[in-house]
Structure 1
């Protein structure tokens, strides 16, 4: 092809047809420019296609993380609800002056359990590396960032701070009356003293309130995670 165009140029110059040669040269330049533009456009299409594939993959992974988180949040709700029930039983025992017995050991042990906030966020960390602009939908991008970098982090910080404060309280008030046996059950050393310890009873009440707050928070996070998961489903369906 290159030899063909060179032969035409040489023929035009030999025949001294400069004006035709000039027009031909301009046409050849235009063809080259058009070829470059087409190549650039094809390259852009390929890059956009690769980015969309990356976007689909990352959104799919974020959705999986959300599913894992919702399962964990549901498990935490069940766990915290069980502790609330144990606190109610213990407070009822104290209020009604019911003697301590070994069957209450696991219940006394459970009220000392501190909370942890664990989430699956590997996809979000990958997204931060690739760049948030990889998600083309503005509203979806904003919701992903808000949930993972604001809501999840804020709740994690609150739980860590409250758990740290309660851990100090448990070390003084809780261990004043309770010790653990080899099986990890909580054994009351002197139930009569425990019943008269207003600080211990206040600790039970405050922990119950905190547990209720945690459950409500996890329910909110499940709803927010579910809404984001549905947004991702809609976006993925558009790209099918």
Structure 2
């Protein structure tokens, strides 16, 4: 095509038809420009298609990650609630001396309330990779991108709260590192000794005197307050964040 125009230009110059030559030259320039614009448009469409495909891959991966994290958080909330409820029941026995509490039930409450670490471990491998590589900018939904960016800092805040809860839990467990109370009694009474391959002790000591210890009551109250704050001020809002992120992801997947 360009050779054809070149041949015409040369012929027009030979015939000294300058105005027609300029017209053909201008037409050739326009043709080249249009060709370039079409090529750019096709390239842009291909790039957008690739970006959209990559975004869908990321969205599907993020959906799987946050669904798994939601399940983990739900289980953790249940464990924290079990610990909290047990601590509340212990406090009620301290406050109401008329209630009778057996050694076995006391051991069960202590074991269920203070044996489990409370720590949220979400699935963040894909999100972390996206943030470090700059791929997060490929998420077109601004609200979703902002929530994903804030997710990591939110987890850091939750982790600090969990660390405080762990500290309060350890303060109660420290009472059983002394010679005043028996951890072995708790293991024997709850059957947890079998989990560790321990035979039942023939000389069990009662821990019920703990109910009269002001130190135990104070530590118990601090644990209850911290446990309640962990669920209501951190875990519940975190669950709301997960649900919001999953809804935004689902909307973006449905749009494409």
Pair in the same fold by TM > 0.5: yes
Give 1:137's aligned residue: 141
Give 1:61's aligned residue: 61
Give 1:28's aligned residue: 28
Which one scores higher on RCO, CA 8 angstroms, separation ≥ 6?
1
Unaligned runs of 5+ in 1: none
User: Alpha-carbon deviations, 1:107-141, whole Å to 9, x = none?
Assistant: 42333333212112233223312343322232232
Give the secondary-structure state (helix, strand or coil) at the position aligned to 1:111.
helix
Give 1:150's aligned residue: 153
Give 1:85's aligned residue: 85
Give 2:220's aligned residue: 204
Deviation at 1:35, TM superposition (A): 1.0
Unaligned runs of 5+ in 2: 188-192
Give 2:5's aligned residue: 5
> How far apart, in 2, do the equivalents of 1:27 and 1:237 lie?
46
> How far apart, in 1, do the equivalents of 2:164 and 2:218 lie?
19
Give the secondary-structure state (helix, strand or coil) at the position aligned to 2:16.
coil
Matches within 5 A, 1:154-165: 154-163=157-166, 165=167
> How far apart, in 1, do the equivalents of 2:222 and 2:250 lie?
41
User: 1:17 and 1:35, CA in 2 relative to 1: closer, same or farther beyond 3 A?
Assistant: same
Deviates more, 1:125-134 or 1:36-45: 125-134
Give the secondary-structure state (helix, strand or coil) at the position aligned to 2:245.
helix
User: Alpha-carbon deviations, 1:61-82, whole Å to 9, x = none?
Assistant: 2222221122111111211222
User: 1:192 and 1:31, CA in 2 relative to 1: closer, same or farther beyond 3 A?
Assistant: closer
User: Alpha-carbon deviations, 1:202-231, whole Å to 9, x = none?
Assistant: 222322232222232322222222122222
Deviation at 1:199, TM superposition (A): 0.8
TM-score (normalizing by structure 2): 0.77
> How far apart, in 1, do the equivalents of 2:112 and 2:43 lie?
61
User: What's the Cα RMSD here?
Assistant: 2.8
User: 1:178 and 1:11, CA in 2 relative to 1: closer, same or farther beyond 3 A?
Assistant: farther
Give 2:237's aligned residue: 220
Deviation at 1:88, TM superposition (A): 4.0
Aligned partner (choices 118, 124, 128) of residue 125 of structure 1: 128
User: Alpha-carbon deviations, 1:154-173, whole Å to 9, x = none?
Assistant: 1122212442x235524532
Give 2:252's aligned residue: 235
TM-score (normalizing by structure 1): 0.81
Conservation of the 8 A alpha-carbon contact between 1:99 and 1:191: no
User: Alpha-carbon deviations, 1:85-119, whole Å to 9, x = none?
Assistant: 33344445554353413x65454233333321211
Conservation of the 8 A alpha-carbon contact between 2:62 and 2:126: yes
> How far apart, in 2, do the equivalents of 1:215 and 1:167 lie?
15
